[in-house]
Structure 1
Amino acid sequence: MSFLIDSSIMITSQILFFGFGWLFFMRQLFKDYEVRQYVVQVIFSVTFAFSCTMFELIIFEILGVLNSSSRYFHWKMNLCVILLILVFMVPFYIGYFIVSNIQLLHKQRLLFSCLLWLTFMYFFWKLGDPFPILSPKHGILSIEQLISRVGVIGVTLMALLSGFGAVNCPYTYMSYFLRNVTDTDILALERRLLQTMDMIISKKKRMAVTRRTMFQRGDVQNKPSGLWGMLKSVTASAPGSESILCLLDSTPPLCIRGGIKSNGE
């Protein structure tokens, strides 16, 4: 009975953490982007939820909350899920996005995504051979092998990135401050700003014309009401909405952000 109560507490906290991760992704990370990738959003929210749950389990271990067997079970389960996402899902989905952006491989993107993932797994496993992480107590396909490789490779990459950032960031900023800004540079930036504003105005005009055409056709007024209308509006798109989405996709993020600010003003 205590295991069921402890599991209900952990599941409730995971649901809350998942909701917080979902809102953080929507409101902070991708608040200025119109293109939504729901699979990426789900993966981020699940990873955020299980990471916060592991931190919560550490606090419960210190304070002595929940049963020790329940804490061990949920700790093991969280490790398995995070390793599954980190080693299997995220590399596969990154490879899938890379292959999907190549037109020649678009029809067989699933096959080439699997090939990229197998290549990643080969190098991921071979990188751990020089490290002293092999143990005769554990098998080659045990969870300890994955945790050891993720830990050693992750710490090594973090050290490399930290060293690169510590050197590159001051060098980059110093080059900006030491550079002499001439009148020609200012005029070029003003010209680029005017071109961007003209692009925003022209696209907003085209979007307004498209919306007016949709309104005249009755696409806005004749939307069905009720639950069926909501489901139909989610699954089906209006005939003119594709052109609006094309305009948003062709507009750079800076232009979209500038258009949002101009509308707010």
Structure 2
Amino acid sequence: MSFLIDSSIMVTSQVLFFGFGWLFFMRKLFKDYEVRQYVVQVIFSVTFAFSCTMFELIIFEILGVLNSSSRYFHWKLNLCVILLILVFMVPFYIGYFVVSNIRLLHRQKLLFACVLWLTFMYFFWKLGDPFPILSPKHGILSIEQLISRVGVIGVTLMALLSGFGAVNCPYTYMSYFLRNVTDADILALERRLLQTMDMIISKKKRIAVAHRTMFQRGEVHNKPTGFWGMIKSVTTSVAGSENLSLIQQEVDALEELSRQLFLETADLHATKERIEYSKTFQGKYFNFLGYFFSIYCVWKIFMATINIVFDRVGKTDPVTRGIEITVNYLGIQFDVKFWSQHISFILVGIIIVTSIRGLLITLTKFFYAISSSKSSNVIVLLLAQIMVSM
């Protein structure tokens, strides 16, 4: 009876996660570039649901929710489904949609998709050669063999994600990195941009008038008579073309300058918005979190370096050590072992959430920049691959 109740809880949570992934990501994150293939939407939402379920099972393990046998069963079931999606389904459909966008391979896209998937499986298997993860006790496609290689990819992605979050989050929210931007600076830059645009328009008008004049002269003096008339016509046309070439070069240089001025103007407006946001209560809160996590990350790097250099084995983390010092100083009764585990878990969870949030914002900008009706399916599947690997 307890197993049925635990299973109903897990199924309900998976349905909720699936619905959130379907409605939020597919309708909000990718709304400008509609993903019309339902199989892509289903794969992405299922991947999101099972990834959240794995994280939910970790929380249940810490808090002691559900029966241990039920947690083990659902953990193994979710792991098998995720490996099936990660290793077999997502790479195959990525290859299938890549081949579908190539006209020469459109007739035999299923065959070439299988070839791409086999190529992926070869490199995925060869990934384990430099690492001591091969074992003759397990089969080729066993859970141990697959999860070991996925673990290498996931740890690498998490390291990249942590590095990105450690740099991007303080830079985004800390007021220390904000430069002073005033309305006068923005107005001066916008005035320069308008002057540059006026110069471009003026020079393009000159080019258009010169082309029209040369065309009219060509109609009036269509056939120059005599030797000197031909020489004069050639000299005039050469001089005119050289002048037009110089003006066109000036126009190209001014257009490049206008693009740079436009980007700098947009950056100043974004910086001004960040300054206004930093003055709000939420901005001050994120500014404090930026300083706190920066100090925490620097302390972790320092202690890790000390432990590596002096071959030390860390027995307590900074949270536990800080709680012990506080409890000993205040002289109060406090279960340090119990609460330090939960506080450390919450702290690491906040770091992971903020890092993933920063990565998703960057990936969304990247998606909007390169996505099209042909590439949107592949990009969504790649995001699903990255998400489930971590």
Q: TM-score range by the shorter chain?
A: 0.5 to 0.7
Q: Relative to 1, partners in 2 of residues 1:2 and 1:92: Cα closer, same or farther, differing over 3 Å?
A: same
Aligned partner of 2:145 in structure 1 is 145
Aligned partner of 2:75 in structure 1 is 75
Aligned partner of 1:59 in structure 2 is 59
Residue deviations 1:103-149 (CA, integer Å, cap 9, x gap): 11101100100010001101110111221112344333310110000
Q: Is 2:35–2:41's contact at 8 Å kept on the other side of the alignment? A: no
Aligned partner of 2:156 in structure 1 is 156
Separation (CA, whole Å) in 2 of partners of 1:166 and 1:99: 37
Aligned partner of 2:12 in structure 1 is 12
Give the residue type in structure 1 aligned to 2:65. V
Give the residue type in structure 2 aligned to 1:22. W
Post-superposition shift, 1:155? 2.3
Aligned partner of 2:255 in structure 1 is 185
Q: Relative to 1, partners in 2 of residues 1:11 and 1:129: Cα closer, same or farther, differing over 3 Å?
A: same
Q: Is 2:14–2:49's contact at 8 Å kept on the other side of the alignment? A: yes
Q: Is 2:95–2:116's contact at 8 Å kept on the other side of the alignment? A: yes
Q: Is 1:96–1:113's contact at 8 Å kept on the other side of the alignment? A: yes
Residues 92-131 of structure 1 mapped to structure 2, 5 A cutoff:
92-131=92-131
Post-superposition shift, 1:37? 2.7
Post-superposition shift, 1:162? 7.1
Separation (CA, whole Å) in 2 of partners of 1:57 and 1:137: 28
Residues 26-37 of structure 1 mapped to structure 2, 5 A cutoff:
26-37=26-37
Give the residue type in structure 2 aligned to 1:45. S
Give the CA RMSD over aligned residues. 3.2
Residue deviations 1:172-223 (CA, integer Å, cap 9, x gap): xxxxxxxx9872237865xxxxxxxxxxxxxxxxxxxxxxxxxxxxxxxxxx
Q: Relative to 1, partners in 2 of residues 1:7 and 1:165: Cα closer, same or farther, differing over 3 Å?
A: closer
**SS in structure 1 opposite 2:134?**
coil
Give the residue type in structure 1 aligned to 2:33. Y
**SS in structure 1 opposite 2:9?**
helix
- Runs of 4 or more, structure 1, over 4 Å off, are 157-167, 186-189
Structure 2 alignment gaps of length 5 or more: 172-188, 197-253, 260-371, 377-390
Q: What is the number of equivalent residue pairs in this alignment?
A: 183
Q: Is 2:14–2:50's contact at 8 Å kept on the other side of the alignment? A: yes
**SS in structure 2 opposite 1:138?**
coil
Structure 1 alignment gaps of length 5 or more: 171-179, 190-248, 254-265
Post-superposition shift, 1:4? 1.2
**SS in structure 2 opposite 1:139?**
coil
Separation (CA, whole Å) in 2 of partners of 1:36 and 1:156: 32
Give the residue type in structure 1 aligned to 2:114. C
Q: Is 1:92–1:117's contact at 8 Å kept on the other side of the alignment? A: yes
Q: Relative to 1, partners in 2 of residues 1:7 and 1:97: Cα closer, same or farther, differing over 3 Å?
A: same
Post-superposition shift, 1:157? 5.0
Q: Is 2:26–2:35's contact at 8 Å kept on the other side of the alignment? A: no
Q: Is 1:25–1:41's contact at 8 Å kept on the other side of the alignment? A: no
Identity of aligned residues (%): 88
Separation (CA, whole Å) in 2 of partners of 1:34 and 1:154: 28
Q: Relative to 1, partners in 2 of residues 1:35 and 1:83: Cα closer, same or farther, differing over 3 Å?
A: closer
